[in-house]
Amino acid sequence: MAKKENSCQSLIPSFLYSSSVGYKNGGVLQQSTLSPPSNSGDHHGVLSKNFVIPAPMEKIEMYSPTFYMACTAGGIISCGLTHMAVTPLDLVKCNMQIDPSKYKSITSGFGVLLKEQGLRGFFKGWVPTLLGYSAQGACKFGFYEFFKKYYSDIAGPEYASKYKTLIYLAGSASAELIADVALCPMEAVKVRVQTQPGFARGLADGMPKFVRAQGYSGLYKGLVPLWGRQIPYTMMKFASFETIVEQIYKNVIPTPKDQCSKNLQLGVSFAGGYVAGVLCAIVSHPADNLVSFLNNAKGATAGDAVRQLGLWGLFTRGLPLRIFMIGTLTGAQWGIYDSFKVFVGLPTTGGAAPASAAAKA
């Protein structure tokens, strides 16, 4: 009988027989996870109607090199795909920031693009978007997990738990500082392709043309404003997400996180990510306007942007569209990222104390 149980267990994804989602007492399967064997000769049982995301057989050791590689891969998938998917919204938003007299609103902006460039025009610049934000996502999520653990170890168990929000803020800021160096060249080409008609069709002809005009250093002209946009954005994205998720598990869901289904945990990740994304958009929007302005106008300065857009315009131009875009984008990113973590046998993000504090407990 024991041999038969072990055989059954070997066919089940690893997270299903972890202590939190289906197995207890040395690997005995709870009735709620699998239905009884059928009379048709199926001796392994079948999955219940609750949908679950399968995971590889072997779990990944937390904070091992493989763990950080998995988080990096999850960041590539979550950021690259989501940013590429919202290219039409980003295209309208950038043009509203650069030429508000022509692109007066979201609906009229889409109308102008459709009339002048056709349906293909809505995905103009998708290649630098995909490559740039994939590289950024790799560094953003991979280094965030690294720095969160690193700063928690420095602080020690007691202070890591007491000042966990500071750990989240420091870890995310450190990660984004690196991530933007990877993103900046592609962001510069993307904005120029999207906002200057006739400049280039995409990355293949846009990058050489950009370098000939401004040199390789020109690709990093917008790095400081990009830091100004992305570092506050990412600090808000990670710290607010971790806090929101923790509060959801503490005050909304009566069941401890490790006893919740993976589907419920992924729903919490999306909800927490969406709310965090709205906050991110508001905090980082002035710098987003500044980045678009500098990458579009050769030789322009931050002072030029303030004089032309005005302080009110710097804070509000294109903001409603960006709130919708970033809220959806951030929610989807956290959902995809945590789905990937579950797929490879890792727990979802948030709802627990930092590593050092958890170790003490």
Q: Supply the DSSP string of 8-45, one letter for each residue.
A: HHHTS-GGGGSTTTTEETTTEEPTTTEEPPPTTS--S-
Match 């980045």 to its residue by tokens. Answer: 291
**How far apart are the C-alpha atoms of 344 and 23, rounded to whole Å?**
18
Instruction: Determine phi and psi for 11, rounding to 5 degrees.
Output: -95, 0
> 283 CB contacts (<8 Å, ≥6 apart)?
232, 233, 236
> In the chain, how many H helices and how many E strands?
12, 4
Q: pTM of the predicted model, to two decimals?
A: 0.75
Task: pLDDT band for 25, please (50, 70, 90 cuts).
Answer: very low
341 burial (CB, 10 Å; 0-12 / 13-18 / 19+) is: buried
- Mean pLDDT within 126-142: 97
Per residue in 327-361, pLDDT (tens digit) is 988 999 999 999 999 999 999 999 865 665 555 44
What mean pLDDT do residues 9-15 have? 35
* 153: pLDDT strictly greater than 70: yes
In this predicted structure, the answer to whether residue 52 has a pLDDT above a threshold of 90 is no
